[in-house]
Amino acid sequence: MYLEPLWERYLANDETIYKNASLYLLVDIKTSALKTYKILETLLNKYKPMLTHVTLDSLKKGALTIILSGNRPPINYFDSYKYRNVFIDGRLSDIGKGVSYKIMPLISSDWDQTFEWEGIGVLPEFQQNTLFDLVSSVHNEQKEIRFWGSPDNQNTWETLLLSGTDLINTDSIEKCRKFIIQKKYQKDTINE
């Protein structure tokens, strides 16, 4: 359902999906982690040319990066793999554990488990400090961070952008896109 349209776009678009960026596809596993992964592994063989992968210890960015989330295989499951085209979605508890970004490029967390702020007014200073510290810690590991379940409004989007949060979850995709483009334009105009 997702891979075939992305493959068609990849082939029709000079072997890219987005210029200068890899699209993250999070696969939220709800069933047995290893059984599901084995099926996915076979399915992904058809799409190898467009996938970000690791061969031995070398990372090769592709047009599409597959990240396993939800009921994901154990991190060390892939230790014996010489070639791997999937990655693991990390949790806040994985920060500082020395897991390579070549295995875990993304840290994801439920907003409500860390923050009480509901997107109205200003994020309280102690929560701002927590947010900025988390983003900084993740970036120091060469990883990206996202929060699911965050308030879905411009005030929250701006707070996340200012903190350096890499991925913003939203159900208002077009509205968020326009907001980010406008903010980038304002920033570029100020810097000129």
Closest CA to 178 of 191, 192, 190, 168: 168
pTM of the model: 0.90
Burial class (CB in 10 A: 0-12, 13-18, 19+), 42: exposed
The whole-number average pLDDT for the span 17-30 is 92
Hey, is 27 helix, strand or coil? strand
The whole-number average pLDDT for the span 95-104 is 95
pLDDT tens, position by position, 109-166: 999 999 999 999 999 999 999 999 999 999 999 999 999 999 999 999 999 999 999 9
The whole-number average pLDDT for the span 66-93 is 93
pLDDT of residue 162: 94
Which two tokens mark 87?
Answer: 């990655």
pLDDT of residue 187: 55
pLDDT of residue 191: 45
Q: What's the distance, Cα to Cα, between the start and end of the chain in Å?
A: 43
- Cα 149 to Cα 147: distance, rounded to the nearest angstrom: 7
Assigned fold of 3-191: TIM Barrel (3.20.20)
Structure-token match 């980010």, residue found: 180
The whole-number average pLDDT for the span 38-64 is 95
The whole-number average pLDDT for the span 35-42 is 93
Closest CA to 64 of 47, 48, 49, 52: 52
